[in-house]
Structure 1
Amino acid sequence: MAVYDTLGATYGATRKPDPRIAARITAALGEVGSVVNVGAGTGGYEPPTTVLAVEPSATMIAQRPAGAAPAVRAVAESLPLADASVEAALAVLTVHHWTDVEAGLSELLRVARRRIVLMTWDQSVTREFWLLREYFPEAAAFDDKRAIPVETIATRLGARVETVPVPHDCTDGFLAAYWRRPAAYLDPVVRAGASGLAQPGEEALRPGLARLRADLDSGAWQATHADLLTMAEYDGGYRLLVADL
């Protein structure tokens, strides 16, 4: 069973593509005529030139909008495409779910003939995010085990690395999306939409949730993080890797 067969039921409600992040991904893809979206989920950040979406979870595929690119249940490690059959391969916040990262990266290199664009996060930066450092160290420890070092991916793909700052009003509810809206993390639907919070389990997060709720009620969070309340964007560790083939 794919991870998001169980975790992805409410994904469409909280994981709406953010237009500013979409613009960065579109710019990185450039003028390519055909794209395979690997680990496509519900189709966020999928350009109109997408010819195939590859997604292992039926739950996620069922939430794809009408008119989206055709989707097939398959995995990154075995893409149902011929060699060099698309101009570009796109993979957004998915590599940490792959069972064999080397095989998945090799498949991206095999099927794409011009460009690979991959979005992931740098765990050395993300683990210092206030939510993980102060309230959910269990979630940080979980991601320590599954995060793939950005340098490893960049070296394998021969990619350049770009920082993807998170807007203060980000519409895509990944883990650090609510860095300036801390009360959102008290919402179980929000937590369910971010695998780094959903997979450790509610029991593991319960003590941190109680501390966060208390700090918000008392004003302690606002006092400690007053600097964040004046910022328009934040570096949560998200990185875009772009490889020209």
Structure 2
Amino acid sequence: MTELYDEIGTGYSLGRRTDPRWMAEILAALGTAGSIADVGAGTGSYEPPGRTVLALEPSSEMIRQRPPGASPAVRAVAEALPLRDNAVEAALAVLTVHHWTDWRAGLAELRRIAPRRVVLAYDTRRHSEFWFVREYVPEIAELERTRPSADDIAHELGADRVTVLPLPWDFTDGVFPAHWRRPAAYLDPGVRRACSALAQTAPASVERGIGRLREDLRSGRWHDTHRDLLELDEWDAGFRLVVSG
């Protein structure tokens, strides 16, 4: 997965920005932990300020995009973390487990290095049912079937609690379903580049789907079909905050 993000990670920080509503949930889940290992840290969007944080990230491209003053970062994979047992008070993993080569081995490493584990994951079934997947790029569902779902991760960690994190309609972090009420955003290549699900799907399939979406927006069909979504302030796209220990 290092190669994937070295290839598609260019400009990632422009589309993936911290949303304060998710940050508040993550801070609450971390509790009073003062030392944190951010595993699969990427550009560090959800690293808590005012605490001792070590970022562990396999992609040099992602590390390069970390902002000035960010926590120190070490190149490492989740399955073999360069930390001793119980080295930190909490391990944080935000939307990364589905990219790990061996996700169970990676979760075992989280348990080894920290007594508290906070993992942001998602229900792959909910992602597969997202209108963009169902109606425009169904090939993404094939990718989702290969990924661990939030329930799988919670079971493996022996989670104490799992919190639903709905997506507000004006969500600022460009996660794949973030624009569920703003469909025209997907016409922007920059938005699509920030979504690994799209980056890992055949370009021809994505372009075909975008063409259909563009036409449905022009004709008004999308708005007619999804009128119910336009009345919602938030929507459950399947994101779950898993807390263990």
Alpha-carbon distance in structure 1 between the residues aligned to 2:27 and 2:20: 10
Alignment of 1:48-67 (within 5 A): 48=49, 49-67=51-69
Deviations 1:204-237 (A, max 9, x none): 2122111100000001101111111121111011
Aligned residue type for 1:51: V
Residue 243 of structure 1: aligned partner: 244
Matches within 5 A, 1:90-239: 90-113=92-115, 115-145=116-146, 147-159=147-159, 160-239=161-240
Q: Which residue of 1 aligns with 2:10?
A: 9
Cα distance in 2 for partners of 1:83, 1:105 equals 14
Deviates more, 1:122-131 or 1:88-97: 122-131
What is the rounded CA distance, in whole Å, between the counterparts of 1:149 and 1:60 in structure 2? Answer: 24
Partner of 2:91: 89
Structure 2: distance between partners of 1:2 and 1:78: 17
Q: CA deviation at 1:111?
A: 0.3
SS state at 1:45 partner: coil
- Write the distance in 2 (CA, Å) between the matches of 1:9 and 1:83: 34
Determine the C-alpha separation between the residues in 1 that align with 2:177 and 2:96.
Answer: 16
Query: Deviation per CA, 1:174-226, whole angstroms, max 9, x where unpaired?
Result: 11000011001111111110100111132121221111000000011011111
Question: Which residue identity is paired with 2:150?
Answer: V
The question of whether the paired residues in 1 share the 8 Å contact of 2:16 and 2:173 is answered with yes
TM-score normalized by structure 1?
0.96
| Aligned AA (1:193) | A
Indicate if the aligned counterparts of 2:47 and 2:53 stay in contact, CA closer than 8 A: no
How far apart, in 2, do the equivalents of 1:10 and 1:142 lie? Answer: 23
Q: Distance in 1 between matches of 2:19 and 2:3?
A: 25
For 1:53 and 1:35, the matched residues in 2 are separated by 9
TM-score, length basis structure 2: 0.96
| 1:47-87 CA-partner distances (Å, limit 9, x unpaired) | 12242100000100011011111000000001111100100
State the AA in 1 paired with 2:16: R
Does the Cα contact within 8 Å between 1:37 and 1:50 map onto a contact in 2?
no
Distance 1:30 1:7 in 2: 33
**Structure 1: gaps (5+ residues):** none
SS across alignment from 2:38:
strand
Q: 1:8-47 counterparts in 2 under 5 A?
A: 8-47=9-48
Q: Output the amino acid matched with 1:227.
A: D
Q: Secondary structure at the match of 1:64?
A: coil
Paired amino acid for 2:117: I
TM superposition shift of 1:149: 2.6
In the alignment, residue 104 of structure 1 is paired with which amino acid? G
Aligned pair count? 242
> Following TM superposition, by how much is the alpha carbon of 1:154 offset from its aligned partner in structure 2, in angstroms?
1.1
Which SS does the other structure have where 2:53 is aligned? strand
Displacement of 1:17: 1.0
> Contact (CA 8 Å) 2:121, 2:149: kept in 1 or not?
no
